[in-house]
Amino acid sequence: MAISPHIGAADSSSTLSTSADRDPPVYRRVSSWIQIRYVLIALGFLGLLCVYVMRVSLNVAIVSMVNHTAIHDAATTSDCHAPYGHTGLIIIRALQGICEGVTYPAFEVQLARWIPKNQRSTAVSYVHAGGFVGVVVGMLSAGELAGSSFLGGWPSVFYVSSVVSVLWCFVWLVLITDTPQQHPSISLDELEFITNDLGARTPDAGQMATPWRQILCSLPVWSVHIAFFGTLYLQYVLIIELPTYLGTVLHFDIRSNGLFSSLPYVGAIIAGCVAGHIGDGIVASGWLSRTATRKLVNGVAAVVPSVILFLVVRIAGCDGQLSLILFVIAGAVRGMSEAGVGPLPIDMAPEFAGTVFGISVTIGALSGVLVPYITGIFINGDNSTVSWSYSFYVAGAVGLVSALIFQVFGTAEVQPWGAARDEKNRPSTKQQTQEDVMRETAKI
Protein backbone atom coordinates (compact mmCIF):
# COMPACT_ATOMS: atom_id res chain seq x y z
CA MET A 1 0.00 0.00 0.00
CA ALA A 2 1.34 3.45 -0.88
CA ILE A 3 0.65 5.15 2.43
CA SER A 4 2.29 3.42 5.37
CA PRO A 5 0.21 2.93 8.51
CA HIS A 6 3.20 4.25 10.46
CA ILE A 7 2.44 7.85 9.57
CA GLY A 8 4.51 9.17 12.44
CA ALA A 9 7.83 8.30 10.82
CA ALA A 10 9.50 9.43 7.65
CA ASP A 11 10.14 5.99 6.12
CA SER A 12 9.25 2.33 6.43
CA SER A 13 12.57 0.68 5.49
CA SER A 14 15.37 0.56 8.01
CA THR A 15 18.27 0.83 5.58
CA LEU A 16 18.98 0.86 1.89
CA SER A 17 20.77 -2.44 2.18
CA THR A 18 17.86 -4.29 3.75
CA SER A 19 15.23 -2.70 1.51
CA ALA A 20 16.59 -4.61 -1.47
CA ASP A 21 15.89 -7.90 0.30
CA ARG A 22 12.19 -7.06 0.57
CA ASP A 23 11.57 -5.14 -2.65
CA PRO A 24 11.77 -6.19 -6.33
CA PRO A 25 15.24 -6.17 -7.98
CA VAL A 26 16.35 -2.61 -8.72
CA TYR A 27 17.38 -2.67 -12.39
CA ARG A 28 16.94 1.10 -12.79
CA ARG A 29 17.77 3.56 -15.54
CA VAL A 30 20.54 6.04 -14.84
CA SER A 31 18.35 9.02 -15.73
CA SER A 32 14.82 9.75 -16.89
CA TRP A 33 12.82 12.79 -17.93
CA ILE A 34 9.99 11.52 -15.71
CA GLN A 35 10.75 12.58 -12.15
CA ILE A 36 8.77 10.33 -9.81
CA ARG A 37 8.64 12.94 -7.05
CA TYR A 38 6.78 15.22 -9.48
CA VAL A 39 4.31 12.41 -10.17
CA LEU A 40 3.84 12.18 -6.41
CA ILE A 41 3.17 15.93 -6.19
CA ALA A 42 0.69 15.77 -9.08
CA LEU A 43 -1.23 12.87 -7.57
CA GLY A 44 -1.16 14.53 -4.16
CA PHE A 45 -2.68 17.60 -5.78
CA LEU A 46 -5.43 15.51 -7.39
CA GLY A 47 -6.04 13.61 -4.17
CA LEU A 48 -6.74 16.75 -2.15
CA LEU A 49 -8.83 18.03 -5.05
CA CYS A 50 -11.08 14.98 -4.67
CA VAL A 51 -11.22 15.38 -0.89
CA TYR A 52 -12.38 18.97 -1.09
CA VAL A 53 -14.84 18.37 -3.91
CA MET A 54 -16.59 15.87 -1.65
CA ARG A 55 -16.24 18.18 1.34
CA VAL A 56 -17.71 21.39 -0.08
CA SER A 57 -20.31 20.05 -2.48
CA LEU A 58 -22.92 19.81 0.26
CA ASN A 59 -22.55 23.52 1.05
CA VAL A 60 -23.85 24.38 -2.42
CA ALA A 61 -26.15 21.40 -3.01
CA ILE A 62 -27.95 22.02 0.29
CA VAL A 63 -29.74 24.97 -1.29
CA SER A 64 -31.52 22.59 -3.68
CA MET A 65 -31.79 19.78 -1.13
CA VAL A 66 -33.95 21.85 1.23
CA ASN A 67 -36.02 23.25 -1.61
CA HIS A 68 -39.34 21.37 -1.66
CA THR A 69 -39.54 21.67 -5.45
CA ALA A 70 -36.44 19.46 -5.65
CA ILE A 71 -38.32 16.59 -3.97
CA HIS A 72 -39.79 14.36 -6.65
CA ASP A 73 -41.98 12.31 -4.31
CA ALA A 74 -45.12 14.35 -3.78
CA ALA A 75 -46.48 11.86 -1.23
CA THR A 76 -43.70 12.29 1.33
CA THR A 77 -44.89 12.68 4.93
CA SER A 78 -41.48 13.08 6.61
CA ASP A 79 -39.78 16.36 7.39
CA CYS A 80 -36.59 14.80 5.95
CA HIS A 81 -36.63 13.20 2.49
CA ALA A 82 -33.40 11.24 3.12
CA PRO A 83 -34.13 7.47 3.44
CA TYR A 84 -32.56 7.26 6.90
CA GLY A 85 -33.46 10.73 8.09
CA HIS A 86 -31.26 13.32 9.73
CA THR A 87 -29.39 10.70 11.77
CA GLY A 88 -28.25 8.79 8.71
CA LEU A 89 -27.01 11.96 7.04
CA ILE A 90 -25.06 13.00 10.14
CA ILE A 91 -23.46 9.57 10.51
CA ILE A 92 -22.42 9.46 6.86
CA ARG A 93 -20.89 12.94 7.00
CA ALA A 94 -19.05 12.06 10.22
CA LEU A 95 -17.61 8.89 8.67
CA GLN A 96 -16.62 10.86 5.60
CA GLY A 97 -14.77 13.39 7.73
CA ILE A 98 -12.98 10.68 9.72
CA CYS A 99 -11.79 8.91 6.57
CA GLU A 100 -10.72 12.12 4.84
CA GLY A 101 -8.92 13.35 7.95
CA VAL A 102 -5.91 11.06 7.42
CA THR A 103 -5.14 12.35 3.93
CA TYR A 104 -3.21 15.47 4.94
CA PRO A 105 -0.92 13.71 7.46
CA ALA A 106 -0.33 10.86 5.01
CA PHE A 107 0.65 13.27 2.23
CA GLU A 108 2.92 15.12 4.66
CA VAL A 109 4.77 11.89 5.41
CA GLN A 110 5.19 11.12 1.73
CA LEU A 111 6.57 14.61 1.09
CA ALA A 112 9.02 14.19 3.97
CA ARG A 113 10.27 10.96 2.38
CA TRP A 114 10.45 12.16 -1.21
CA ILE A 115 11.05 15.93 -1.39
CA PRO A 116 14.50 17.56 -0.85
CA LYS A 117 14.68 20.31 1.77
CA ASN A 118 14.95 23.28 -0.61
CA GLN A 119 11.91 22.12 -2.59
CA ARG A 120 9.57 21.57 0.36
CA SER A 121 7.78 24.90 0.32
CA THR A 122 7.02 24.60 -3.38
CA ALA A 123 5.98 20.95 -3.13
CA VAL A 124 3.69 21.51 -0.14
CA SER A 125 2.15 24.55 -1.84
CA TYR A 126 1.37 22.61 -5.01
CA VAL A 127 -0.06 19.60 -3.18
CA HIS A 128 -2.17 21.76 -0.87
CA ALA A 129 -3.31 23.80 -3.87
CA GLY A 130 -5.30 20.72 -4.78
CA GLY A 131 -7.57 21.52 -1.86
CA PHE A 132 -8.21 25.02 -3.20
CA VAL A 133 -8.86 23.70 -6.69
CA GLY A 134 -11.18 21.16 -5.11
CA VAL A 135 -13.16 23.98 -3.51
CA VAL A 136 -13.43 25.75 -6.87
CA VAL A 137 -14.35 22.60 -8.79
CA GLY A 138 -16.69 21.44 -6.04
CA MET A 139 -18.61 24.70 -5.86
CA LEU A 140 -18.81 25.15 -9.63
CA SER A 141 -19.76 21.56 -10.38
CA ALA A 142 -22.20 21.36 -7.48
CA GLY A 143 -23.99 24.48 -8.66
CA GLU A 144 -24.24 23.18 -12.22
CA LEU A 145 -25.21 19.61 -11.32
CA ALA A 146 -27.73 20.64 -8.68
CA GLY A 147 -29.40 22.94 -11.18
CA SER A 148 -29.54 20.27 -13.89
CA SER A 149 -31.66 17.16 -14.42
CA PHE A 150 -28.65 14.79 -14.59
CA LEU A 151 -29.21 11.80 -12.28
CA GLY A 152 -32.01 13.64 -10.54
CA GLY A 153 -30.26 16.98 -10.02
CA TRP A 154 -28.64 17.41 -6.62
CA PRO A 155 -27.98 13.66 -6.03
CA SER A 156 -25.62 13.73 -9.02
CA VAL A 157 -23.33 16.05 -7.03
CA PHE A 158 -22.45 13.18 -4.71
CA TYR A 159 -22.45 10.39 -7.33
CA VAL A 160 -19.95 12.14 -9.60
CA SER A 161 -17.49 13.15 -6.86
CA SER A 162 -17.54 9.65 -5.36
CA VAL A 163 -16.78 7.86 -8.63
CA VAL A 164 -13.90 10.21 -9.48
CA SER A 165 -12.39 9.78 -5.99
CA VAL A 166 -12.45 5.98 -6.20
CA LEU A 167 -10.69 6.12 -9.57
CA TRP A 168 -7.98 8.33 -8.04
CA CYS A 169 -7.36 5.73 -5.32
CA PHE A 170 -6.59 3.03 -7.90
CA VAL A 171 -4.12 5.29 -9.73
CA TRP A 172 -2.36 6.22 -6.47
CA LEU A 173 -1.98 2.60 -5.38
CA VAL A 174 -0.48 1.62 -8.74
CA LEU A 175 1.97 4.51 -9.25
CA ILE A 176 3.22 5.49 -5.76
CA THR A 177 5.34 3.64 -3.21
CA ASP A 178 6.19 4.45 0.39
CA THR A 179 9.79 5.46 -0.31
CA PRO A 180 12.04 6.32 -3.27
CA GLN A 181 14.08 3.15 -2.63
CA GLN A 182 10.99 0.99 -3.14
CA HIS A 183 9.89 2.54 -6.43
CA PRO A 184 10.63 0.26 -9.41
CA SER A 185 10.71 3.06 -11.99
CA ILE A 186 12.75 5.80 -10.31
CA SER A 187 16.03 6.64 -12.05
CA LEU A 188 19.41 6.35 -10.35
CA ASP A 189 20.01 10.09 -10.73
CA GLU A 190 16.77 11.04 -9.01
CA LEU A 191 17.24 8.42 -6.30
CA GLU A 192 20.75 9.68 -5.54
CA PHE A 193 19.58 13.32 -5.62
CA ILE A 194 16.86 12.61 -3.06
CA THR A 195 18.94 10.45 -0.74
CA ASN A 196 21.97 12.77 -0.85
CA ASP A 197 19.74 15.61 0.33
CA LEU A 198 17.62 13.74 2.87
CA GLY A 199 20.32 11.30 3.97
CA ALA A 200 21.28 7.87 2.67
CA ARG A 201 19.51 6.24 5.59
CA THR A 202 15.76 6.27 6.01
CA PRO A 203 14.65 5.28 9.54
CA ASP A 204 12.46 2.29 10.31
CA ALA A 205 9.10 3.48 11.62
CA GLY A 206 8.52 0.19 13.40
CA GLN A 207 11.70 0.60 15.50
CA MET A 208 11.34 4.27 16.37
CA ALA A 209 9.13 5.16 19.30
CA THR A 210 7.08 8.31 18.82
CA PRO A 211 8.30 10.92 21.36
CA TRP A 212 4.83 11.86 22.53
CA ARG A 213 6.00 13.78 25.58
CA GLN A 214 8.35 15.99 23.56
CA ILE A 215 5.73 16.57 20.87
CA LEU A 216 2.94 17.42 23.29
CA CYS A 217 5.14 19.63 25.49
CA SER A 218 6.94 21.53 22.73
CA LEU A 219 6.04 25.22 22.63
CA PRO A 220 7.20 25.64 19.00
CA VAL A 221 5.03 22.70 17.97
CA TRP A 222 2.02 24.19 19.75
CA SER A 223 2.61 27.48 17.98
CA VAL A 224 2.31 25.54 14.71
CA HIS A 225 -0.93 23.94 15.89
CA ILE A 226 -2.34 27.36 16.78
CA ALA A 227 -1.21 28.82 13.45
CA PHE A 228 -2.98 25.98 11.65
CA PHE A 229 -6.13 26.61 13.68
CA GLY A 230 -6.12 30.31 12.83
CA THR A 231 -5.58 29.90 9.10
CA LEU A 232 -8.11 27.07 8.88
CA TYR A 233 -10.66 29.14 10.78
CA LEU A 234 -10.31 31.84 8.13
CA GLN A 235 -10.56 29.21 5.42
CA TYR A 236 -13.71 27.62 6.85
CA VAL A 237 -15.41 31.00 7.10
CA LEU A 238 -14.98 31.28 3.33
CA ILE A 239 -15.84 27.65 2.59
CA ILE A 240 -18.84 27.18 4.89
CA GLU A 241 -20.32 30.62 5.40
CA LEU A 242 -19.51 32.58 2.24
CA PRO A 243 -22.07 30.73 0.05
CA THR A 244 -24.76 31.41 2.66
CA TYR A 245 -23.74 35.06 2.96
CA LEU A 246 -23.80 35.56 -0.81
CA GLY A 247 -27.17 33.85 -1.09
CA THR A 248 -29.09 35.26 1.88
CA VAL A 249 -27.54 38.72 2.31
CA LEU A 250 -26.30 39.63 -1.17
CA HIS A 251 -29.00 37.56 -2.96
CA PHE A 252 -26.94 35.71 -5.56
CA ASP A 253 -28.78 32.86 -7.32
CA ILE A 254 -27.63 29.25 -6.95
CA ARG A 255 -25.42 29.09 -10.06
CA SER A 256 -23.87 32.53 -9.51
CA ASN A 257 -23.37 31.61 -5.86
CA GLY A 258 -21.34 28.55 -6.78
CA LEU A 259 -19.22 30.55 -9.22
CA PHE A 260 -18.55 33.55 -6.99
CA SER A 261 -17.98 31.46 -3.86
CA SER A 262 -15.16 29.70 -5.69
CA LEU A 263 -13.32 32.87 -6.73
CA PRO A 264 -11.36 33.31 -3.44
CA TYR A 265 -9.84 29.90 -4.07
CA VAL A 266 -8.81 30.72 -7.61
CA GLY A 267 -6.73 33.48 -6.05
CA ALA A 268 -5.50 31.12 -3.32
CA ILE A 269 -4.24 28.62 -5.89
CA ILE A 270 -2.12 31.27 -7.60
CA ALA A 271 -0.94 32.98 -4.41
CA GLY A 272 -0.05 29.71 -2.67
CA CYS A 273 2.04 28.35 -5.55
CA VAL A 274 3.79 31.69 -6.12
CA ALA A 275 4.53 32.02 -2.40
CA GLY A 276 5.99 28.51 -2.39
CA HIS A 277 8.44 29.31 -5.18
CA ILE A 278 9.37 32.64 -3.60
CA GLY A 279 9.83 31.06 -0.18
CA ASP A 280 12.15 28.35 -1.47
CA GLY A 281 14.04 30.97 -3.49
CA ILE A 282 14.55 33.19 -0.46
CA VAL A 283 15.84 30.30 1.65
CA ALA A 284 18.11 28.99 -1.13
CA SER A 285 19.59 32.46 -1.73
CA GLY A 286 20.30 32.98 1.96
CA TRP A 287 18.40 36.28 2.15
CA LEU A 288 16.42 35.03 5.12
CA SER A 289 16.60 31.96 7.29
CA ARG A 290 14.01 29.23 6.86
CA THR A 291 12.34 30.30 10.12
CA ALA A 292 12.17 33.98 9.14
CA THR A 293 10.78 33.07 5.72
CA ARG A 294 8.06 30.85 7.18
CA LYS A 295 7.09 33.58 9.66
CA LEU A 296 7.00 36.27 7.00
CA VAL A 297 4.80 34.27 4.63
CA ASN A 298 2.45 33.03 7.34
CA GLY A 299 2.18 36.50 8.89
CA VAL A 300 1.00 38.03 5.63
CA ALA A 301 -1.34 35.08 5.02
CA ALA A 302 -3.06 35.53 8.39
CA VAL A 303 -3.03 39.29 8.98
CA VAL A 304 -4.33 40.54 5.61
CA PRO A 305 -7.49 38.35 5.50
CA SER A 306 -8.16 39.06 9.18
CA VAL A 307 -8.10 42.82 8.58
CA ILE A 308 -10.36 42.41 5.54
CA LEU A 309 -12.91 40.44 7.56
CA PHE A 310 -12.88 43.19 10.18
CA LEU A 311 -13.65 45.81 7.53
CA VAL A 312 -15.71 44.04 4.84
CA VAL A 313 -19.16 44.90 6.23
CA ARG A 314 -18.22 48.46 7.16
CA ILE A 315 -16.65 49.17 3.77
CA ALA A 316 -18.88 47.19 1.41
CA GLY A 317 -22.19 46.89 3.25
CA CYS A 318 -24.68 45.36 0.78
CA ASP A 319 -22.55 46.18 -2.26
CA GLY A 320 -22.20 42.74 -3.82
CA GLN A 321 -19.36 43.58 -6.20
CA LEU A 322 -17.16 45.28 -3.60
CA SER A 323 -17.86 42.56 -1.04
CA LEU A 324 -16.89 39.91 -3.55
CA ILE A 325 -13.63 41.70 -4.41
CA LEU A 326 -12.68 41.88 -0.72
CA PHE A 327 -13.51 38.22 -0.14
CA VAL A 328 -11.44 37.22 -3.18
CA ILE A 329 -8.44 39.17 -1.87
CA ALA A 330 -8.85 37.63 1.59
CA GLY A 331 -9.07 34.10 0.21
CA ALA A 332 -6.13 34.59 -2.14
CA VAL A 333 -3.77 35.95 0.50
CA ARG A 334 -4.84 33.28 3.00
CA GLY A 335 -3.67 30.71 0.46
CA MET A 336 -0.09 31.84 1.06
CA SER A 337 -0.19 30.04 4.42
CA GLU A 338 0.39 26.76 2.56
CA ALA A 339 3.95 27.99 1.93
CA GLY A 340 4.26 29.41 5.45
CA VAL A 341 2.89 27.05 8.07
CA GLY A 342 2.35 24.15 5.64
CA PRO A 343 5.95 22.81 5.47
CA LEU A 344 6.68 23.32 9.19
CA PRO A 345 5.93 19.77 10.40
CA ILE A 346 8.45 18.47 7.85
CA ASP A 347 10.94 21.21 8.78
CA MET A 348 10.70 20.64 12.53
CA ALA A 349 10.22 16.88 12.74
CA PRO A 350 10.94 15.04 9.47
CA GLU A 351 10.87 11.73 11.34
CA PHE A 352 7.41 12.41 12.76
CA ALA A 353 5.94 14.85 10.24
CA GLY A 354 2.75 12.81 9.95
CA THR A 355 2.17 12.79 13.69
CA VAL A 356 2.79 16.52 14.12
CA PHE A 357 0.74 17.39 11.05
CA GLY A 358 -2.04 15.04 12.13
CA ILE A 359 -2.34 16.81 15.48
CA SER A 360 -2.29 20.19 13.74
CA VAL A 361 -5.02 19.15 11.32
CA THR A 362 -7.11 17.70 14.14
CA ILE A 363 -6.89 20.92 16.13
CA GLY A 364 -7.46 22.96 12.99
CA ALA A 365 -10.49 20.86 12.08
CA LEU A 366 -12.17 22.05 15.27
CA SER A 367 -12.52 25.39 13.52
CA GLY A 368 -14.76 23.66 11.00
CA VAL A 369 -17.10 22.83 13.88
CA LEU A 370 -16.82 26.21 15.58
CA VAL A 371 -17.37 28.39 12.50
CA PRO A 372 -20.99 27.33 11.79
CA TYR A 373 -21.78 27.17 15.51
CA ILE A 374 -20.49 30.67 16.27
CA THR A 375 -22.06 32.07 13.11
CA GLY A 376 -25.37 30.50 14.09
CA ILE A 377 -25.23 32.19 17.49
CA PHE A 378 -24.80 35.62 15.92
CA ILE A 379 -27.23 35.14 13.03
CA ASN A 380 -30.04 33.27 14.82
CA GLY A 381 -32.48 33.88 11.97
CA ASP A 382 -31.35 37.49 11.41
CA ASN A 383 -29.49 37.62 8.09
CA SER A 384 -28.58 41.29 8.37
CA THR A 385 -25.11 42.63 7.64
CA VAL A 386 -24.78 43.67 11.28
CA SER A 387 -25.31 40.10 12.52
CA TRP A 388 -22.87 38.73 9.98
CA SER A 389 -20.27 41.34 10.89
CA TYR A 390 -19.96 39.84 14.38
CA SER A 391 -19.05 36.47 12.88
CA PHE A 392 -16.44 38.14 10.69
CA TYR A 393 -15.02 40.02 13.70
CA VAL A 394 -14.47 36.73 15.53
CA ALA A 395 -12.74 35.24 12.49
CA GLY A 396 -10.47 38.27 12.18
CA ALA A 397 -9.56 38.12 15.87
CA VAL A 398 -8.73 34.41 15.67
CA GLY A 399 -6.51 35.01 12.65
CA LEU A 400 -4.59 37.87 14.26
CA VAL A 401 -4.04 36.14 17.62
CA SER A 402 -2.86 32.90 16.01
CA ALA A 403 -0.44 34.82 13.78
CA LEU A 404 1.00 36.70 16.77
CA ILE A 405 1.57 33.50 18.75
CA PHE A 406 3.41 31.89 15.85
CA GLN A 407 5.57 34.98 15.31
CA VAL A 408 6.70 34.81 18.94
CA PHE A 409 7.17 31.08 19.49
CA GLY A 410 7.41 29.52 16.02
CA THR A 411 10.51 28.05 14.39
CA ALA A 412 11.45 26.00 11.34
CA GLU A 413 14.53 24.46 12.93
CA VAL A 414 14.69 20.68 13.27
CA GLN A 415 13.83 19.71 16.84
CA PRO A 416 16.27 17.36 18.64
CA TRP A 417 13.65 14.63 19.00
CA GLY A 418 12.60 14.96 15.35
CA ALA A 419 16.00 14.51 13.68
CA ALA A 420 17.25 11.32 12.03
CA ARG A 421 20.16 9.42 13.50
CA ASP A 422 23.31 10.09 11.50
CA GLU A 423 24.95 7.29 9.54
CA LYS A 424 28.26 8.52 8.18
CA ASN A 425 29.58 5.30 6.69
CA ARG A 426 26.65 4.46 4.45
CA PRO A 427 27.69 3.94 0.78
CA SER A 428 26.35 6.18 -1.95
CA THR A 429 23.07 5.40 -3.67
CA LYS A 430 24.68 4.29 -6.96
CA GLN A 431 27.21 2.12 -5.14
CA GLN A 432 24.47 0.61 -3.00
CA THR A 433 22.28 -0.03 -6.03
CA GLN A 434 25.12 -1.83 -7.84
CA GLU A 435 25.61 -4.03 -4.78
CA ASP A 436 21.88 -4.79 -4.75
CA VAL A 437 21.97 -5.81 -8.43
CA MET A 438 24.99 -8.07 -7.84
CA ARG A 439 23.19 -9.65 -4.88
CA GLU A 440 20.11 -10.37 -6.98
CA THR A 441 22.27 -11.74 -9.82
CA ALA A 442 24.09 -14.05 -7.42
CA LYS A 443 20.75 -15.42 -6.24
CA ILE A 444 19.85 -16.33 -9.83
Distance CA 306, CA 398 (A): 8
Q: Which residues contact 30 (CB under 8 A, 6 or more apart)?
A: 187, 188, 189
In a domain, 211, yes or no: yes
User: Is 190 a domain residue?
Assistant: yes
Dmax over Cα atoms in the chain, in whole Å? 78
Q: Which domain holds residue 269?
A: 16-68+85-416
> 394-407 burial, b for 16+ CB within 10 Å, e for fewer?
bbbebbbebbbbbb
Judge whether 53 lies within some domain.
Answer: yes
Contact 31, 130 (CB under 8 A): no
Q: Is 23 helix (H, G, I), strand (E, B) or coil?
A: coil
CA 399/CA 440 separation, integer angstroms: 56
Question: 87-119 burial by CB neighbour count: b if 16+ within 10 A, else e?
Answer: eeeeeeeeeeeeebeebbbbbbbbbbbbbebeb
The answer to whether position 3 is within a domain reads no
Q: How many domains does the chain have?
A: 1
Phi, psi (degrees; rounded to nearest 5) at 95: -65, -40
Q: Do the beta carbons of residue 344 and residue 410 sit within 8 Å? A: yes
- Alpha-carbon distance 43 to 302, whole Å? 28
Residue 123 contacts residue 111 (beta carbons within 8 Å): yes
Cα–chain center distance at 4: 18
Integer Cα distance of 120 and 57 in angstroms? 30
Judge whether 251 lies within some domain.
yes
H/E segment holding residue 124: helix 120-146
Q: What is the pLDDT along the chain (444 residues), one digit of tens a residue?
A: 344 334 344 433 333 434 434 444 444 555 567 888 899 999 999 999 888 888 777 766 666 666 555 444 544 445 555 566 667 777 877 787 777 777 878 888 888 888 888 888 888 888 988 887 887 787 777 767 766 667 766 777 778 888 888 999 999 998 988 888 888 888 888 888 888 777 654 445 445 678 899 999 999 999 999 999 999 999 888 877 777 777 777 767 666 766 777 788 788 888 888 988 898 889 888 898 989 999 999 999 999 999 998 888 777 677 777 888 888 899 889 988 888 888 898 889 888 888 898 899 889 888 888 988 888 888 877 777 788 888 889 999 999 999 999 999 999 888 888 765 543 344 444 444 444 434 433 444
The pTM assigned to this predicted structure is 0.71
Closest CA to 177 of 202, 206, 211, 197: 202
5 part of a folded domain: no
Residue 376 CA: distances (Å) to CA of 253, 289, 393: 22, 43, 14
Residue 61 lies in a domain: yes
Residue 430 located in a structural domain: no
DSSP state, residue 31: -
CATH of the domain at 167: 1.20.1250.20
Rounded to an integer, what distance in angstroms lies between the CA atom of residue 32 and that of residue 190?
8
Nearest CA-CA partner of 405 in 228, 178, 155, 253: 228
Cβ atoms of 354 and 346 within 8 Å: the answer is no
Q: Is the dihedral of CA 279, 51, 368, 106 positive or negative?
A: negative
Query: What distance in Å separates the CA atoms of residue 223 and residue 231, rounded to the nearest whole number?
Result: 12
